[in-house]
């Protein structure tokens, strides 16, 4: 069995850490909110709280599930004069970054870790809170195949599909591009539903027809009725995070010299919605945003 550290017990991280706690591995957890980490440890026999990064010094694997590259780099490289995991982890330990981070920065971070005798995988996820709970996330992995082989049993506790997509940074690149396609499809679906309703179509019937026709997509199948038409708006993934991931995708396009005109338009729509709806809005509230725009 392994000694695993897990940093970031948010809406996705908490159920993921819960699954790891069921496997018998020694698990230490950390969160910006110390009470959250304490509550998790109290609810999971065998889990402990890492009060400081140095408590991960004997870990075989440390998993980060954090908001962005800035947060990841603060933990790995150190922040405000405090040492990071780079100078704390034992030789041969592996950092698995499951956050949604910037691919180019992930590549650089991987090299920095390797220079210190540490291993790195970027392994972001897709599937939302529901699939985090039942361990069926899609996990896209960048890094050395041999390192992935060592860590795959742990990752398969969290995801049904674990796919090696390339070298360091490739996982984060794939995640950003996946979310771009998903976000563009969501906007197209929302626009179609609003136009159809204005014409007099029943949105429930529209969704059913889209799901039996060529317009079927992740939004029509898993979000439209469940979170939008119902007015629940509680999918568990924030609008701000979607806008952030879109920014990463557009930045990736720019870094490789590829113009993304549709992507630029989609990003602006999400940024405008994020500004209008405010902090904490679920990404499915894009439906409400478009409805109010019509008014």
Catalytic residue positions, numbered: 175
Distance CA 12, CA 55 (A): 23
Burial group, residue 81, by CB count within 10 angstroms (0-12, 13-18, 19+): exposed
């Amino acid at each position: 069995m392994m000694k695993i550290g897990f940093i970031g017990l948010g809406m996705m991280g908490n159920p993921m850490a819960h699954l790891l706690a069921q496997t018998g591995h020694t698990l230490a957890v950390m969160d910006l909110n110390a009470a959250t980490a304490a509550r998790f440890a109290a609810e999971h026999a065998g889990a402990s709280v890492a009060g400081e990064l140095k408590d991960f010094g004997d870990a075989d694997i440390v998993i980060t599930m954090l908001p962005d590259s800035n947060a990841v780099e603060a933990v790995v490289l150190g922040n405000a004069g405090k040492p990071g995991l780079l100078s704390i982890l034992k030789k041969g330990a592996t950092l698995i970054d499951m956050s949604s981070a910037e691919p180019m920065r992930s590549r650089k971070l991987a090299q920095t870790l390797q220079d210190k005798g540490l291993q790195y995988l970027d392994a972001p996820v897709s599937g939302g809170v529901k699939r985090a709970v039942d361990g069926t996330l899609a996990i896209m992995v960048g890094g050395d195949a041999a390192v992935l082989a060592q860590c795959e049993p742990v990752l398969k506790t969290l995801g049904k599909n674990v796919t090696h997509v390339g070298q360091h940074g490739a996982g984060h690149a794939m995640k950003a591009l996946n979310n771009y396609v998903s976000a563009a499809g969501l906007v197209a679906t929302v626009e179609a539903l609003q136009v159809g309703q204005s014409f007099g179509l029943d949105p429930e019937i529209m969704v059913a027809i889209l799901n039996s026709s060529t317009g079927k997509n992740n939004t029509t199948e898993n979000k439209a009725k469940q979170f939008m038409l119902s007015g629940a708006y509680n999918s568990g993934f924030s609008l701000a995070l979607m806008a952030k991931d879109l920014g990463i995708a557009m930045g990736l396009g720019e870094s490789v010299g590829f113009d993304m005109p549709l992507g630029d338009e989609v990003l602006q729509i999400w940024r405008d919605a994020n500004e209008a709806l405010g902090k904490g809005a679920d990404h499915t509230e894009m439906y409400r945003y478009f409805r109010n725009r019509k008014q």
